[in-house]
Amino acid sequence: MKKKLLFLSTIILSLFLLSACTDKNSDAYKFKNEYESLNGTKSDSGKEIREIAIDENNPVIYKTAEEIVEMIENNETFVVYFGFSKCPWCRSVLPTLLEVADDLKLTKLYYVDILEIRDVLELNEKNELVTKTKGTESYYKLLELLDNVLDDYSMTDKNGKKIDTHEKRIYAPNVVGIVNGKADKMTTGISSLQTDAYMDLTEEMVNETYNKFKCVISCVLDNQKATCSLDKAC
């Protein structure tokens, strides 16, 4: 009986110590809670939000757009993830991004919530492009600094016609590798086989996503060791 009580006491103590070691004020815990808190809920369109599980020891560090601009201007080398918790495409690739980061031993993955800082464009009744909401100054600065890796931003009118906005866009998700203050590579991580943000992911899709993130992250890590050139192909 004493042995059983001792065993139970040991388990309870271990669980208590494990809980005590969890820093609920850390960026890693904040990120885990931010994304997992949406599990079991629905999107604004009424669709089931994809459930994801995030390790509390993830390498995510929150940064503002201003801080990322400063890091780039200081010629730093790092990986930054642009996204937001409700983004269905982000949630479809995020677990794989974190898996790659863990496999490659990336200790710092910077995160910028892009939702509230971007401009919002729309087409009026005359099919003219208008800015509904302006982006922040730091967002436009990021567009300049990341111009060489960002995709063009276009919209589609009610007739299916493509309208060019004549600007670039930081989409969600966008994972960018910065090497010595210069944008090296960018990927959404989204598989070419994934046609819907809410669809079930196949092993082939996940593998493609894994390789896309591996390309960006490995080149940044290689550059930190001065062994990878900026034009290294993936």
Domains of the chain with bracketed CATH: 24-64+75-117+169-224 (3.40.30.10)
pLDDT, one tens digit per residue, over 45-67 is 899 999 999 999 999 999 999 99
Cβ within 8 Å of residue 197, ≥6 positions away: 50, 88, 89, 91, 92
pLDDT, one tens digit per residue, over 107-151 is 999 999 999 999 999 998 888 889 999 999 999 999 999 999 999
pLDDT, one tens digit per residue, over 162-209 is 889 889 999 999 999 999 999 999 999 999 999 999 999 999 999 999
Which pLDDT band holds residue 21 (cuts at 50, 70, 90)?
low
Q: Which residues of 118-149 are buried (b: 16+ CB within 10 A; e: fewer)?
A: bbebeeeeeeeeeeeeebeebbebbbebbeeb
The pTM score is: 0.86
Separation between Cα atoms, residue 187 and residue 216, nearest integer Å: 7
